[in-house]
Amino acid sequence: MRRFSLFNATSLTFGFAFLYLPMVILIIYSFNASQLVTVWAGFSTRWYGELLRDQEFLDAAWVTLRVAVFSSTIATVLGTMAATVIVRAGRFKGRTLFSGMIYAPLVMPEVITGLSLLLLFIGIGLDRGILTVVLAHTTFSMCYVSVVVSSRLATFDTALEEAALDLGCSPFEAFRLVTLPIIAPAVISGWLLAFTLSLDDLVIASFTTGPSATTLPIKIFSAVRLGVSPQINALSTILIAFVAVGVIAASLATKRAAVRADKDARAAERAAG
């Protein structure tokens, strides 16, 4: 506390203002009655109404949601497997290549990932659409999932799995009954991360999709290239609200879990005394 000076307070205030003001402004202007986005003409929910009547946006939203659900679910399964391989499988032939392929997509520019996948899909004659976008999103988000899950697995006490084996579990049962329930929070955050990455992705989806499957970011991008639009403001507000509610709920849940853990620790002390 002693070092929490005026300087710190100022830098935090300005820092968070910088982070949040643009979004706040966006939200405010989404309620602007005027067509002209820079002139305030009174409060209105008109753009929300127009947005909800715009079939193209609704279709794009539906495509995006399906892609995100499928790709994040497959990515979570594959990513958890990959994490288990990296943390547990020990040495095997081609291990270096494997971990390289897990980490490379994290630093690969999206334009390159998109380009290479598109060339593959064309090469094997796969029609571009929802399927190809799901494949593309699964590939890069499984790497993120694997990083999240493997950092949890690395601190996992292997004695727990050994105890399960010792008590009669097969290796697979030990994973299902002991490891998975314990690492579940990491697996869930991996899924959420994959889901968000898929929802957000513009570049890779642009490369790998066909005319039948326009995702929401592609739709937004083609709309805003021409300039600011009040409809997009409304859409952005809805998306920001979703994320904010989600993140705040998650952090409240963590906080409650921490409080409960604290109470448990005190209960354990009493039990000892």
Partner 1 sequence: MNQTVFAPWDDPDEKPLIQFRNVTKRFGDFTAIDDLTLDIYAQEFFALLGPSGCGKTTMMRMLAGFETPTEGNILLSGQDIAPIPPNKRAVNMMFQSYALFPHLSVRDNIAFGLRRESKDKAKIDERVEEMLRLTRLTKFAGRKPHQISGGQRQRVALARSLAKAPKLLLLDEPLGALDRKLREETQFELMDIQEKTGTTFVIVTHDQEEAMTVASRVAVMDEGKLIQVATPDVIYEAPNSVYVADFIGDVNIVEGRASQTGDKVDVAWAEGQPPIHATTQKRFDRDAQCYFAIRPEKVHISKERDDSRPNVLQGKVIDIAYLGNISTYHVRLADGTMMKAQSANTRRLANRGITWEDEVWLSFTDTAGVMLAR
Partner 2 sequence: MRRFALIAVPYLWLLALFLVPFLIVLKISLSDITLSIPPYSPKLDLSAGWAGFVEFIRALDFENYVFLTQDDLYWKAYLSSLWIAFVSTLITLAVGYPIAYGMARAAPEWRPTLLMLVILPFWTSFLIRVYAWMGILANEGLLNQTLLALGIIDSPLQILNTTAAVQIGIVYTYLPFMILPIYATLEKMDESLLEAAEDLGCSRLSAFWLVTFPLSRGGIIAGCFLVFIPAIGEFVIPSLLGGSDTLMIGKVLWEEFFSNRDWPVASAVAIILLAILIIPIVLFQRNEQKEREAGT
Q: Would you tell me which residues interact with partner 1 (CB under 8 A)?
A: 157, 159-160, 162-170, 173, 177-178, 181-182, 261, 264-265, 267-269, 271-272
Provide the minimum distance between the beta carbon of 232 and partner 1 in the complex, in angstroms, as a whole number. 44
Return the one option of partner 2, partner 1, none that residue 127 interacts with (CB less than 5 to 8 A, by type): none
User: Which of 81, 131, 169, 182 touches partner 2 (CB under 8 A)?
Assistant: 81
25/160 with CB nearer partner 2: 25
Contact string (CB under 8 A) for partner 2, positions 10-49, x = contact: -xx--xx-xxx-xx-xx--x-------xx-----------
186/232 with CB nearer partner 2: 232
User: Considering the rule CB under 8 A, would residue 249 count as an interface residue with partner 2?
Assistant: no
Return the one option of partner 2, partner 1, none that residue 264 interacts with (CB less than 5 to 8 A, by type): partner 1
**CA-wise closest residue to 67 among 132, 3, 139:** 132
Provide the minimum distance between the beta carbon of 56 and partner 2 in the complex, in angstroms, as a whole number. 17
104/259 with CB nearer partner 1: 259
Q: Which stretch binds partner 2 (CB under 8 A): 44-52, 134-142, 154-162, 177-185?
A: 134-142
